[in-house]
């Protein structure tokens, strides 16, 4: 070989350049950028709840039940006298953890089924699509309630129920995207080179449809927090005394008038977290959209 390559470092530079491009667009969206930091903050606080929470989330003092916020207990005490701040901090672990796990589960199953359905077509496609139709005929929250009823109450069953309820929409989304990419010449070129279907699906198709799926997943993280909280509110979520935000609101709602702080603080956190996910989703959508990438090359951002 006469040709030799000296500058292997170029490789890394190129990779950085592509990453930098969408990161730059994302950063230009201030709202999404701030949301990301708030969310990272909430996630970190939940992760290190054991060290951050000032009190135990389970220890109660029934005599001080429903005490309003004070310096000693910034968020006040709940209906049986547990420190609400500690419960909200620990609750994030469940609420956000359930959301991540459920979306991961739903996306994994939905995307794989969507890839198979879209890529192979034919009878497999028909079967998967009729199954999707059946699942889509129920609203997501009803589907989740139905699943939780079947699976029983608990963290795992909540994750499975919420995760599975998002599967049909992932299948639809992925299948539609695959159909757009499947007939591109680079897929045909890979076939002509003799590449196998699994290679083509994961190397050529998935990377080209990943952006919309990532964006959708971000929105779904927000949505699943709401669904999980909704189930918790209805008493179908995690069993007591586990501090999950939805369940906390559900149990505090009897005292909504006399002690609104019991409902308000978990409510605010559900709101902020879901909102952040949605705002990040908007930012990612703009940043990962190839049409936006053109503007950046023209120097507008």
CB of 85 to another protein, least distance (A): 45
Give the up-direction half-sphere exposure of residue 50: CA atoms within 13 A in the CB hemisphere: 1
CB of 209 to another protein, least distance (A): 10
What are residue 240's phi and psi, to 5 degrees?
-65, 155
Contact 102, 162 (CB under 8 A): yes
CB of 36 to another protein, least distance (A): 24
Which residue(s) pair with 261 in the sheet? none
CB of 145 to another protein, least distance (A): 39
Residues 6+ apart with CB under 8 A from 91: 57, 243, 244, 245, 248, 266, 269
**Angstrom distances, CA of residue 206 to CA of 11, 39, 174:** 22, 27, 9
Q: In the complex, which residues of this chain contact another protein (CB under 8 A)?
A: 1-5, 8, 10-11, 13-14, 18, 184-186, 188-195, 203-204, 207-208, 290
CB nearer to another protein: give 61 or 126.
126
**Angstrom distances, CA of residue 76 to CA of 50, 83, 92, 263:** 19, 6, 17, 11
CB nearer to another protein: give 139 or 207.
207
Contact 230, 224 (CB under 8 A): no
CB nearer to another protein: give 2 or 63.
2
CB nearer to another protein: give 12 or 258.
12
CB nearer to another protein: give 18 or 40.
18
């Amino acid at each position: 070989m006469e040709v030799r390559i000296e500058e292997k470092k170029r490789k890394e530079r190129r990779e950085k350049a592509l990453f930098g491009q969408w990161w730059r667009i994302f950063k230009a969206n201030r709202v999404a950028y701030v949301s990301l930091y708030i969310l990272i903050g909430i996630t970190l606080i939940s992760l290190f709840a054991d060290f951050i929470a000032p009190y135990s989330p389970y220890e109660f003092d029934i005599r001080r039940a429903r005490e309003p916020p004070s310096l000693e207990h910034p968020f006040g005490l709940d209906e049986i006298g547990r420190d609400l701040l500690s419960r909200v901090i620990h609750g994030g672990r469940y609420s956000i953890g359930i959301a991540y796990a459920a979306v991961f589960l739903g996306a994994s199953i939905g995307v794989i089924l969507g890839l198979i359905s879209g890529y192979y077509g034919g009878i497999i496609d028909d079967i998967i699509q009729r199954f999707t139709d059946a699942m889509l005929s129920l609203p997501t929250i009803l589907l989740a309630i139905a699943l939780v009823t079947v699976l029983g109450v608990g963290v795992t069953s909540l994750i499975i129920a919420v995760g599975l309820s998002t599967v049909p929409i992932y299948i639809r989304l992925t299948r539609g995207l695959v159909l757009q990419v499947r007939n591109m010449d680079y897929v045909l070129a890979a076939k002509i080179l003799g590449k196998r279907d699994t290679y083509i699906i994961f190397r050529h198709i998935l990377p080209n449809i990943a952006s919309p799926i990532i964006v959708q997943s971000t929105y779904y993280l927000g949505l699943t927090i709401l669904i999980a909280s909704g189930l918790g509110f209805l008493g179908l979520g995690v069993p007591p005394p586990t501090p999950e935000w939805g369940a906390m609101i559900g149990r505090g709602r009897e005292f909504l008038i006399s002690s609104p702080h019991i409902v308000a603080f978990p409510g605010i956190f559900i709101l902020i977290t879901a909102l952040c996910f949605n705002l990040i989703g908007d930012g990612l959508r703009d940043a990962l959209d190839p049409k936006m990438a053109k503007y950046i090359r023209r120097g507008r951002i």
